[in-house]
């Protein structure tokens, strides 16, 4: 069993540990009420995530954009979206605060209790394309019991670049087969496996909201498939 | 007051947070008893620290040695010292385990309670010349409530290189005057101040054992001087 060999669990964060979508909708609604502006915040959240983050990271992989931080990507995208959605008259401090809504994402209901159990047996670290400050602040905001923070700016690469997975192992002083990625996204898990890491799939079917398509089916090549982090802790005997 | 401006506390670790000397003596005595060998473990601990770590880092600063990790420095020194002290017949696994005694250092009695209070108000991170794996494992071993881990291998420099202090601020997304170094060593604090960080001095007069010279006097230029971490928490209003 992988659990006998694995010393550290590294976690995808956006969608896997935290519910980014409802958190951004919540922050958007608060801003809209304060400023008296009507916005479809579900659409806003999805566009911010898809174009500002997923799309921008793909451009960085293709060499069309230089390496930068998640914070910078989110701010660039927000600056494009504010006029498009008719959100006007914000001060620089208000824009900065809203842009850092990504530091204030709420964990899924099982995340803190599951991580607390898993921490008893394993080193628990994010491995996220978020940046170090974002993940550190999010950990404090949500009470996530991380042992350390591993981020794109620490390993110098965005997932699914192998440098991200292998750089995490180097930092932790472990061989790839002593580390397991926990993620809600099958592509992330398959990339980790290509670098020799173990893989635990925790589908989060509501990541993209109540009307999203079902989560991808699991892959028999994954070491574990769990319904949530508490279930993963049970399967890993902690 | 610095406390109104400061968002993150970064801590020197060896000597400031943990009592490395008595921990290494404890690990050495256990090894000596298991192997039936008599060693002056106080002398052994002091030599391992002075020559393997302090001296080696000075050589790296002067460009006489390439950048490497604390783990590697400690292992190189241990390989020199084992025959010198007549410690023979250890397996590779036993040498590796003993070399990683530096991952199993015991906190000073006030460290965990003080850090727990300080964490309520500030981001709490080590900034140590130790490496990421060492500091992560030490945090778990001692129950140190870090929010994240900042280490020499993450910032790519050993203190007192300004890159270590300024790189920490960049990772945390903060300006230097929003960060305060907490340390038992005045030189470390003065170097941090030269890079624009705040400084809190917590003398640890027993770092080098019961017969050591008194700790260095404080400097009126430091923002705070505290008797221990609990006292620092009181002074910082948390």
Domain range annotation of chain A? 2-19+106-235, 20-103
Average pLDDT of chain B? 96
CATH architecture of B2-19+105-235: 3-Layer(aba) Sandwich (3.40)
Q: Does the CB of B71 have a partner CB in chain A at under 8 Å?
A: yes
Tokens 């670098």 locate to A195
- Average pLDDT for A77-100: 96
Contact A171 B134 (CB under 8 A): no
Q: Report the pLDDT value the prediction gives residue A138, as an integer from 0 to 100.
A: 98
- Average pLDDT for A151-157: 96
Strand partners of residue A224: A200
Strands B198-201 vs B224-225: parallel, antiparallel or unpaired: parallel
- Average pLDDT for B95-118: 98
Q: pLDDT tens digits for A82-92?
A: 999 999 999 99
> Could you say which DSSP state residue A44 is in?
H
Q: How far is CA A20 from the centre of its chain?
A: 8
- Average pLDDT for B159-183: 98
* A22 has pLDDT over 80: yes
Contact B135 A148 (CB under 8 A): yes
- Average pLDDT for A153-172: 97
- Helix, strand, coil % over all residues of chain A, rounded to 5: 50, 10, 40
Q: Supply the DSSP string of B168-217, one letter for each residue.
A: HHHHHT--GGGEEEEES-HHHHHHHHHTT-EEEE---TTTT-TTSPPPPP
Q: Report the pLDDT value the prediction gives residue B155, as an integer from 0 to 100.
A: 97
Backbone torsion region of residue A123, taken as left when φ is above 0, otherwise alpha when ψ lies between -120 and 50, otherwise beta: beta
Q: pLDDT tens digits for B15-53?
A: 999 999 999 999 999 999 999 999 999 999 999 999 998
Q: How far is CA B100 from the centre of its chain?
A: 14
* Predicted ipTM of the assembly: 0.95
Model confidence pTM above 0.80: yes
Contact A197, A180 (CB under 8 A): yes
Q: How far is A98 from A100, CA to CA, in rounded Å? A: 5
Average pLDDT of chain A? 96
* B93 has pLDDT over 90: yes
Contact B133 A71 (CB under 8 A): no
Q: Report the pLDDT value the prediction gives residue B2, as an integer from 0 to 100.
A: 74
Q: Which two tokens stand for residue B181?
A: 């170094």
Q: Report the pLDDT value the prediction gives residue A4, as an integer from 0 to 100.
A: 87
Q: Supply the DSSP string of A81-138, one letter for each residue.
A: HHHHTT-----HHHHHHHHGGGGSPPBPTTHHHHHHHHHTTSEEEEEESS-HHHHHHH
**Beta-carbon count within 10 A of B148 CB:** 29
Q: Does the CB of A188 have a partner CB in chain B at under 8 Å?
A: no
Q: How far is A149 from A133, CA to CA, in rounded Å? A: 9
Residue B1's pLDDT band (boundaries 50, 70, 90)? Answer: low
Q: Which two tokens stand for residue B158?
A: 């050993």
How far CA B70 is from CA of A166, B42, B152, in Å, comes to 20, 20, 8
* B160 has pLDDT over 80: yes
* A205 has pLDDT over 70: yes
Contact A219, A190 (CB under 8 A): yes
The angle formed by the CA atoms of residues A21, A24 and A30, to the nearest 5 degrees, is 140
* A153 has pLDDT over 70: yes
* A1 has pLDDT over 80: no
Q: pLDDT tens digits for B209-232?
A: 998 999 999 999 999 999 999 999
* B3 has pLDDT over 90: no
Residue A148's pLDDT band (boundaries 50, 70, 90)? Answer: very high
Q: Report the pLDDT value the prediction gives residue A18, as an integer from 0 to 100.
A: 98
Of all residues in chain A, the one with the smallest CA distance to B119 is: A140
Contact B148 A146 (CB under 8 A): yes
Classified by CATH at the fold level, domain A2-19+106-235 comes out as Rossmann fold (3.40.50)
Q: Report the pLDDT value the prediction gives residue A121, as an integer from 0 to 100.
A: 97
Q: Report the pLDDT value the prediction gives residue A100, as an integer from 0 to 100.
A: 98
3-state secondary structure of A19: coil
Of all residues in chain B, the one with the smallest CA distance to A130 is: B171
Substitution target in A100, A173, A174, A175 with the highest count of B β-carbons within 10 Å is A173
* B4 has pLDDT over 90: no
Q: What's the burial of A225, exposed, middle or buried (CB within 10 Å: 0-12/13-18/19+)?
A: middle
* B124 has pLDDT over 80: yes
Q: Does the CB of A13 have a partner CB in chain B at under 8 Å?
A: no
Q: Report the pLDDT value the prediction gives residue A2, as an integer from 0 to 100.
A: 74
- Average pLDDT for A129-158: 97
Distance from CA of A76 to the nearest CA of B (A): 17
Q: What's the burial of B63, exposed, middle or buried (CB within 10 Å: 0-12/13-18/19+)?
A: exposed
Question: Quick check: do A2-19+106-235 and A20-103 share a fold?
Answer: no
Task: Decide which of 1.10.150.240, 1.10.10.10, 2.40.50.100, 3.40.640.10 is the CATH code for B20-103.
Answer: 1.10.150.240
The answer for residues whose C-beta is within 8 angstroms of residue A185's C-beta and 6 or more apart is A12, A15, A16, A216
Select from A131, A140, A149 the Cβ nearest to the Cβ of B149: A149
Q: Does the CB of B133 have a partner CB in chain A at under 8 Å?
A: yes
* A201 has pLDDT over 90: yes
């Amino acid at each position: 069993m992988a659990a006998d060999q694995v010393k550290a669990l590294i976690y995808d964060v956006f969608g896997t540990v935290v519910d980014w979508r409802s958190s951004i909708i919540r922050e958007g609604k608060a801003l809209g009420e304060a400023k008296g502006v009507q916005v479809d915040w579900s659409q806003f959240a999805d566009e911010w995530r898809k174009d500002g983050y997923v799309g921008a990271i793909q451009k960085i992989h293709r060499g069309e954009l230089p390496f930068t931080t998640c914070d910078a990507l989110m701010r660039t995208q927000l600056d494009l979206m504010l006029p498009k959605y008719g959100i006007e008259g914000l001060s620089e401090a208000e824009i900065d605060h809203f842009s850092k809504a990504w530091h204030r994402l709420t964990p899924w209901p099982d995340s803190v209790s599951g991580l607390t159990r898993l921490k008893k047996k394993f080193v628990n670290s994010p491995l996220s394309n978020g940046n170090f400050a974002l993940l550190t602040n999010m950990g404090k905001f949500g009470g996530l019991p991380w042992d350390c923070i591993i981020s794109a700016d620490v390993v110098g690469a965005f997932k699914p670049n192998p440098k991200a997975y292998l750089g995490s192992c180097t930092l932790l002083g472990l061989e790839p087969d002593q580390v397991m990625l926990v993620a809600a996204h099958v592509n992330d898990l398959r990339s980790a496996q290509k670098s020799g890491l173990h893989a635990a799939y925790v589908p989060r079917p509501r990541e993209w909201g109540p009307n999203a398509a079902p989560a991808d089916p699991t892959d028999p090549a994954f070491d574990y498939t769990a319904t949530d982090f508490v279930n993963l802790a049970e399967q890993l005997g902690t």
